[in-house]
Amino acid sequence: MNANSSADSKEDIFRKENFDVNTFEDEIRIDSLCQRLLRMFYLEMEEEGRSPGEAGRLVWGADYFLREFIIPDRRENIFSPHSGRVRQFAGNWYIVKNLEPNMEELGTILQGIEAFYEYGKKIGKVTEEVVEDVRRDCSELDYYRRRIDTFWLIEGDGYSAWERECSLKNHR
């Protein structure tokens, strides 16, 4: 196999349709593909001059979003998330799934998500529309801070109203 064939076959594994989630077996396969893609993303961040620590932090944020939320929870193709998916993640899922949700950690995750989708556009896997949607949602830090603060203030049956404001039930 020549170098071009190897590069072509490597590119083939990252075809968008290879990230469609229909079965549990797909989920396992896609998780593995995603790990490989995130390693490439890490190397790209280093090539762009980011320190290993910064590159690792960005990859960690993207990894958490993709491999904990998008693939297993939403069962969605990582290259074509529904519009507003980052908002659902940051404004609801992250908050209820973590013992101590906080803006420092969430901000790091959001930076990684945004960097990953910019990388996805750079390598031709996502559209500008997806990147713009992700950028918009990642920039809403005050909204997420308020969501975390109001989560801790929930009393009685107040959870339902809190959840409805940024529901995970939309676009399942």
Tally Cβ neighbours within 10 Å of residue 60: 15
C-alpha neighbours within 13 Å on the C-beta side of residue 119: 23
- Reply yes or no on whether the pLDDT at 47 is more than 90: yes
In the prediction, which pLDDT does 14 show?
A: 84
Query: Mean pLDDT, the chain, as a whole number?
Result: 91
Summarised one tens digit per residue, pLDDT across range 90-143 is: 999 999 999 999 999 999 999 999 999 999 999 999 999 999 999 999 999 999
Q: How many residues does the chain have?
A: 172
**pLDDT grade, residue 84 (50/70/90)?**
very high
Distance from chain centroid for Cα 21: 15
Find the mean pLDDT for residues 67-86.
Answer: 95
- Reply yes or no on whether the pLDDT at 74 is more than 50: yes
Find the mean pLDDT for residues 22-49.
Answer: 94
In the prediction, which pLDDT does 170 show?
A: 65
**pLDDT grade, residue 11 (50/70/90)?**
low
Find the mean pLDDT for residues 14-32.
Answer: 90
In the prediction, which pLDDT does 54 show?
A: 96
**Which sequence spans correspond to the domains of the chain?**
3-165
| Rg over CA atoms, the chain | 17
* Tokens found for residue 94: 């992250």
